[in-house]
Copies of this chain bind each other. A is one copy, B any other.
Amino acid sequence: MLTVAIPKGSLLKDSIASFAAIGLDFSAFLEKGNRQLQIEDPTGQARAMLVRNGDVPVYVESGQAHVGIVGYDVLREKKPQVAQILDLGFGGCRLSVAVQESSPYRKSIDLPAHSRVASKFVQCARDHFRDLDLPVDIVPLYGSVELGPITGMSEAIVDLVATGRTLKENGLIEIEELFYSTARAIAHPLSYRLNTYGLSDSLNALRDHLRSQRKTT
User: Which residues of A line the B interface, CB within 8 A?
Assistant: 8, 37-38, 49-52, 54-55, 58-59, 62, 64, 116, 139-144, 147, 150-153
Contact = CB atoms under 8 A, between A and B. Distances in A.
Contact of A59 (B55, B58, B62, B153): B153
Given A8-B143, A62-B139, A143-B8, A151 B38 contact: yes
Nearest to A170: B37
B142 A55 contact: yes
- By DSSP majority rule, is chain A's interface helix, strand, loop, or mixed? mixed
Contacts of A151: 38, 49, 59, 64
A55 B143 contact: yes
Given A52-B144, A54-B142, A55-B142, 16 more contacts: A8-B143, A37-B144, A37-B150, A38-B147, A38-B150, A38-B151, A50-B144, A51-B141, A51-B143, A51-B144, A52-B142, A55-B141, A59-B153, A62-B116, A62-B153, A64-B152
Contacts of A49: 147, 151
Most buried by B among A55, A140, A152: A55
Nearest to A3: B151
A153 B64 contact: yes
